[in-house]
Amino acid sequence: MMKNPFSKQGKVPPRTHAWKNNAGIRFLLFVLLFALFYLPLSERLISKTYDIQKGSLSETTIYSPKLIEDSAATQKAKDQAAQQVKPVYSVISMKNEDVADQIFAKLEQINTDDQIAYEQKVAVFRQEIPVLFSDYYDRYMKSLNNLHSQTLLDEISKQLHDQQYRIPEEAFFKLPKLTPEQLAEMKPVARSIISKIMEDNIVDVQSVRSKVAEMVNASRLAGKNEREMVQEIVRFVLTPNKFFDEDATKQAQTKAREDTPSININKGDPIVKKDELITEDIYQRLDALGLLKSKVSYWPYLGIVIMASLFVFVLFMFIRQSRSEITSHNPHLLMLVLIYALNILAMKVVGLGQNADFPYIAYLAPVALGTILITILLDVQIAFISSILFSIMASIIYNQNIEQMFDFRYGFVAAVASFVSIFAIHGATHRSGILKAGIMISLFSSVSVGAIILLAEQFEVTDVVLTLTFAAAGGLLTAILVIGLLPFFELAFGILSPLKLVELSNPNHPLLRKLLTETPGTYHHSVMVGNLSEAAAEAIGANGLLCRVGSFYHDIGKTKRPHYFIENQVNIENPHDKIEPQLSKSIIIAHSRDGVEMMKEYKIPRQIREIAEQHHGTTLLKFFYHKAVKQLEARGMDSSEIREEDYRYPGPKAQTKEAAIVGVADSVEAAVRSLRNPTMEQIDQLVDKIIKSRMDDNQFNECDLTLKELDTVSQILKETLLGIFHSRIEYPEDVPAKRETKGA
């Protein structure tokens, strides 16, 4: 606290426990903050290592610290998928009937030529018929060169060669005996059978050739020789038309491998169980996860130390610039540490349920929990920087991609939720405002998640619905946790949040209702003091709401003896006129102590009790002091026996700006009220006189009010009093006119 330049005795140290302002304790709290950042970051970014050898038994169950692809299992699954791919065959349609036509044409040409001897005809057929087949398919293969791969063409050529039919030798001796009429009858039958058979896909032509005899016997051909020769010609002409396509099969196998999803080891899945043999595959998994001690590196640890230190440094700088008590008050810093611990713990708990199948459960995390608590209980600026830190932590904790350190999606949604919570809760005056803030968080979180879904173009209905549901539920969960935790922090740390202050200002509070019904004059005086002190406090950046509520309760002790206070003496005699000044002094002084006791009974927060206890400080009850002096002088006794110390309030003096302002406003309001028709000049002089009197009496020594702030307080009190009493003020230039009106 700053030393008041008007102090005659120097600064009096505040009455507080040593630890609350101890620099060593403060340093330890910042170290604890560092640990809160370091531990979850190291757990997420650095894996625990084990001393394991291949072929040994695992001494413990080892769990995966993060999501990682099981390369061995994935490769095995891909191989199995490729093996399950059936061979791909290509159907190459050939005009086998054309070959048969060429054979029949050759037969007719040779058989009708009488110049060729029988033996020569046999020799010609034995030589020419295979050549006809070979020439035709050579030409056909050339036509396929630009249509199919060379591998498939080689397979076609191979199958045609391997499955080529060899006409029996005896058939060549029967062919020359066929007449043109017989050939003409045989040709359509042969074409019909070939066409019908080749409609099907044929891989093994031998199985089809066995059916030719039955089909020929069912035809209209009657001659035995004709039927036999048709059978041989058809069998010779038939070829396979469905060929194994090696390239297409490989492509199908490749596609099957590509379509096979990766098999992941989820975070928290056991990689190896206790007493399980460490095989090559298991060893490779442990190696890929960096869980082997031989692979340990200390650089990541240094990186996390630097990152956590930067987080603490940034937070420290914002705390230094804060206008709240956290700048020097260790209990408030401890509360900040607890809020951070709860927020990170809540994030980690939600993270336990996150896996590759349900990554979007992370949106359920109440990331804005800490932000709202800091906004309500501490400082908005610290809430803003905390929102950024929580968002960075979320992007690390919920990242499921081993190839990157941060996942911007979770950090983005966390930042939106946190910033929205600050704007939604800042200035809220009722606890229902927390629920409204939760609804706002749900709405904006859902919108931000929707933006991410649109960017990723992931429109699976189930995933979209679950993702949006978790995002909306996260806001409501945040509100529920804040409502549940806020009373704990208010009670444990004696924090007076704006919400609590507004609740205490409700006229239906038992103490305020008692004040109104039993001491209406004091109640009205307290309301007026509240208006004055709130305006003055807000003008210098102090807590105006605390001043208002503190003013409502500052004279609550007067309800024990209401008629001994002048504002409650309506149409009755002043009881102080009949009692000794010593007793009057005791009754008046007791109202501060009585008020504190009553407020303790009703569990009114400490800050308000302190205002009631300190608003008079150690000021002198001048009226009763001078009355006592006059009584002794009237009796001819020595008035020096009356000491000022005996007629002073016991204190303590004001320890805060708020207590000092309420004390000044209390004296000013009572003094101005005693004036019949106060003028502007009278109000100005009275305010200045009261403030100067308190300064001369060293009543501001123990609080950090500056001269500039006192001047501002004085000016605001004058302006506010002028507004309150303007209807009763007689300005000098108006007095003659009023007198003339009276005379008339």
* Residue extents of the structural domains in the chain: 18-29+31-42+297-495, 50-70+263-295, 89-244, 505-743
Higher pLDDT, 222 or 561: 561
Higher pLDDT, 62 or 333: 333
- β-bridge partners, 244: 89
- Please give the pLDDT value at position 529: 94
pLDDT at 732: 52
Average predicted confidence (pLDDT) for the chain: 86
What pLDDT score was predicted for residue 32?
A: 96
- What pLDDT sits at residue 385? 95
Q: Name the most confidently modeled range: 171-180, 510-519, 719-728.
A: 510-519
> Confidence class of residue 740 from pLDDT cuts 50, 70 and 90?
very low
Q: What is the reported pLDDT for 210?
A: 86
Most confident of the following: 237-251, 608-622, 627-641: 608-622
pLDDT at residue 576, as a whole number: 87
Q: How confident is the model over 260-286, as a mean pLDDT?
A: 81
Position with higher pLDDT, 570 vs 305: 305
For residue 547, what pLDDT band results from cuts at 50, 70 and 90? very high
Out of 88-102, 471-485, 503-517, which region has the weakest mean confidence (pLDDT)? 88-102
Dist. CA 63–CA 273, nearest whole Å: 9
For the residues of 270-298, what is the DSSP string, one character each? EEE-TT-B--HHHHHHHHHTT-BGGG--S
The answer to whether residue 8 scores a pLDDT higher than 70 is no
Structure tokens at 591: 């109202």
**Least confident interval from 15-24, 70-79, 80-89, 376-385:** 15-24
Tell me the CATH architecture of domain 505-743.
Orthogonal Bundle (1.10)
Residue pair 233/103 in contact (Cβ under 8 Å)? The answer is: yes
Does residue 413 surpass a pLDDT of 90?
yes
Which pLDDT does position 294 carry in this prediction? Answer: 67
Q: What is the pLDDT of residues 116-149, one digit of tens each?
A: 888 888 888 888 888 888 888 888 888 877 778 8
Alpha helix (H) residue ranges in 11-115: 23-45, 71-83, 96-111
The H-assigned helical ranges of 198-245 are 205-209, 212-217, 224-237
At residue 723, the pLDDT reads 80
- Average pLDDT (661-668) is 95
Q: Which residue has the higher pLDDT, 243 or 94?
A: 243
What is the percent of the chain with per-residue pLDDT over 70, rounded to a whole number? 93
pLDDT band at residue 402 under the 50/70/90 scheme: low
What per-residue confidence (pLDDT) applies to 339? 96
pLDDT score of 47: 67
Encode 477-494 in three state secondary structure.
HHHHHHHHHHHHHHHHHC
Distance CA 684, CA 281 (A): 90
327 pLDDT more than 60: yes
pLDDT value for 273: 85
Q: What is the mean pLDDT of residues 460-478?
A: 91
SS3 91: strand
Give the lowest-confidence range in 52-66, 233-247, 457-471, 548-562: 52-66
What residue has token string 């609550």?
Answer: 556
Mean pLDDT, residues 202-227 taken together:
87
Residue with the bigger pLDDT between 159 and 4: it is 159
Tell me which of 97-101, 522-526, 555-559, 568-572 is least confident: 568-572
Q: Are 329 and 21 in contact (CB under 8 A)?
A: yes
Q: How distant is the alpha carbon of residue 196 from its chain centre?
A: 70
